[in-house]
Amino acid sequence: MDSVIVLDFGGQYAHLITRRIRDFGVYSEILPFDADLDEIRKIMPKAIVLSGGPSSIYDNDSPTLNDEFFKFTSENKIPILGICYGHHLIMHKFEGKVELKEKKEYGRANLIIIEESLLFDSLNREEIVWMSHGDQVTSIPKGFKILAKTDTCPIASYENKDKFLYGVQFHPEVVNTTKGNKILENFVFKIAHCDREWKVEGLIENIIEKIKNKVGLKDKVILGLSGGVDSSVTAVLIHRAIGDRLHCVFVNNGLLRKNEEIEVQKTFKETLKFKNFHYIDAEGLFLKKLKDIEDPEEKRKIIGHTFIEIFENKTIELEKANPDIKYLAQGTIYPDRVETSATSNASAKIKSHHNVTLPNDMKLDIIEPLKNLYKDEVRRIGLTLGIPQEIILRHPFPGPGLGVRIVGTINKEKLNILREADAILIDEIRKAGVYNKLWQAFCVFLPLKTVGVMGDYRTYEYICAIRAVESLDVMTANFAKLNWDLLEKIGTRIINEVKGINRVVYDITNKPPGTIEYE
């Protein structure tokens, strides 16, 4: 099957490039820029993209590629598309001129195409593109041809057909480059001649087969199941492969949504007929440990550590009865994995996300059947596997649950108030037919009391904030412009039906500068 490798030079966009290529029906994966040539040779990609990155090729330890790499691609006629930093790097290697620019160019630019080429096939002579760069190419070596320019960038794109090299200064992978998809499609199909053969659904049998081969006929697997999309799909794939040799552990941390623990158990035990589903009610322990804790990061840490403690104890208990438990399954998906071994460590820590990393001393081998897939691909697999839509199409729910949706200290009273309000919000949003259009919608408990009036009585109760956002990639999100009548209905119901709340506010913060969750 044809594939395209994206070499990651530390930009934020490598994921977007692979995503787009996969959406064309061609398998694509990210490798670090310094991946072993043997690894690339084994894959024998039909094309390679060099991503952008924060470095300048003039930095002391700037990431680079060796001559052997270019010898390999040229001998095997593998086209390379350099984007931004990749575009500079090719020039640097082939003795073009790249000039160091102190001043960055950032934003929309008007690309003027000056030469016909397959890369810009069926584009207009002028197109809007997205630029984000400091350095720029100022002269090209012999054999290269300038394809396009902008007002400030005389060599915005080049090609060398004999050496199978292409470069663009702008970012075709972002939506702000209007015809970016067309450019990538041209590269993948017209230049690299890939076939559209890849479909995520086609991977299911392959994944199941791999699990069977790995686990064998008698060993067992343990999985921490949250009932979210990733762990649910992981569970069903493993269950298909090894049946009830899969042990799922579901921990009720007391921070779940209304009736969640009942619904998850029902789905797995009754609908999907999992025999070894272990439910642990740990609400008491979590709430005890969280008592009086206000700081968001501390809350997250306590929730993560407490989960690990419980999960480890349960594993030890299960291992006693089932000495064949040899594997620990995890619902890790592609972005989680690449993020943890990112080639760039330039990004600042905003929140300690990504749930729990189980300790290494558990001595179990890890199985991660979704490790090469993106969220929407996991969803497609889940639907094909027949997992109920309520699970697969559910909005993302953070590992620390309602713990990060109650500002300040947590207790059962606040949790119950929040659960009731949230259930009303979701009910109304579903009834209005907008649930599937939103990335997330949820209520947040604000520990502030304000005055209200109900009937003839003064009230003095808490505030509930409604957060509803639209997003494609979670890195950015816009607050949803929900219909006023719908918001009014939700607000009225929450105030009338939820004891403890007398004011509802709507959050109009985008991300950035806000984050989606409150803590």
Active-site residue (options: 84, 153, 194, 464): 84
Q: Which of 313, 340, 357, 515 binds ligand XMP (CB under 6 A)?
A: 515
> Rounded distance, CA 28 to CA 11, Å?
17
| Nearer to ligand XMP among residue 362 and residue 474 (C-beta) | 474
- Among 77, 193, 266, 353, the residue binding ligand XMP under the rule CB under 6 A is 353
- 8 A C-beta contact, residue 246 and residue 220: yes
Contact range with ligand XMP by CB under 6 A, out of 80-88, 160-168, 265-273, 391-399: 391-399
Helices (H), 141-186: 180-185
b/e burial code for range 123-148 (CB count within 10 A of at least 16 → b): beeebebbbbbbbbbeebeeebebbb
Cα distance between residue 378 and residue 20, in whole Å: 16
Instruction: Give the whole-angstrom CA distance, residue 135 versus residue 101.
Output: 5
- Choose the stretch contacting ligand XMP; rule: CB under 6 A; options: 160-168, 271-279, 397-405, 449-457: 397-405
Question: Any catalytic annotation for residue 171?
Answer: yes
Interface positions, 439-498, toward ligand XMP (CB under 6 A) = 440, 474
As given in the structure block, the two tokens for residue 388 are 């109920």
- Contacts by residues 265-272 (CB-CB < 8 Å, ≥ 24 positions apart): 267/227, 267/232, 267/388, 267/390, 267/391, 268/225, 268/227, 268/235, 271/388, 272/236, 272/239, 272/387
Give the footprint of ligand XMP on residues 40-79 (CB under 6 A).
none
Catalytic residue among 87, 88, 171, 239: 171
d(CA 424, CA 436): 16
Minimum CB–partner distance for residue 416 and ligand XMP (Å): 21
Give the other-Cβ count within 10 Å of 111's Cβ.
Answer: 31
Give the shortest CB-229-to-ligand XMP separation in angstroms: 10
HSE of 264, CA atoms in CB hemisphere, 13 A:
26
Asked if 81 and 168 touch (Cβ cutoff 8 Å), the reply is: yes
Question: What is the residue-wise DSSP string for 205-255?
Answer: HHHHHHHHHHHTTT-EEEEE--SSHHHHHHHHHHHHHHGGGEEEEEEE-S-
Binding residue (CB under 6 A) for ligand XMP from 25, 396, 408, 452: 396
84 catalytically annotated: yes
C-beta closer to ligand XMP: residue 186 or 440:
440
One of 400, 429, 482, 491 touching ligand XMP (CB under 6 A): 400
Burial of 323 (0-12, 13-18, 19+ CB in 10 A): exposed
Query: What six digits make up the tokens of 164?
Result: 């199978």
The answer to whether the beta carbons of residues 278 and 249 sit under 8 Å apart is yes
Residue of 351, 371, 375, 449 interacting with ligand XMP (CB under 6 A): 351
- Residue 12 is a binding residue for ligand XMP (CB under 6 A): no
Candidates 284-292, 349-357, 454-462, 494-502: pick the segment binding ligand XMP (CB under 6 A). Answer: 349-357
By CB under 6 A, tell whether 516 contacts ligand XMP. yes
Which residue is catalytic, options 127, 159, 173, 377?
A: 173
- 422: contact with ligand XMP by CB under 6 A: no
CB nearer ligand XMP, residue 5 or residue 392:
392
Contact pattern for ligand XMP over residues 194 through 223, marking x by CB under 6 A: ------------------------------
- Which residues in the 355-374 window bind ligand XMP by CB under 6 A? 355
Whether 131 and 106 have beta carbons less than 8 Å apart is answered as yes
- The residue among 217 and 350 lying less far from ligand XMP, judged by its C-beta, is 350
- Shortest distance in whole angstroms from residue 32 CB to ligand XMP: 24
> Of 183 and 426, which has the nearer Cβ to ligand XMP?
426
Binding of residue 511 to ligand XMP (CB under 6 A): yes
Q: Least CB distance from residue 46 to ligand XMP, whole Å? A: 34
Nearer to ligand XMP (CB atom), residue 459 or residue 509: 509
Tell me if residue 415 falls in helix, strand or coil.
Answer: helix
104: helix, strand or coil: coil
Number of residues that bind ligand XMP (CB under 6 A): 14
Measured between alpha carbons, how far is residue 390 from residues 84, 376, 393 in Å?
42, 15, 6
Contact residues: ligand XMP, CB under 6 A: 351, 353-355, 396, 398-400, 440, 474, 511, 515-517
Give the active site residues: 84, 171, 173
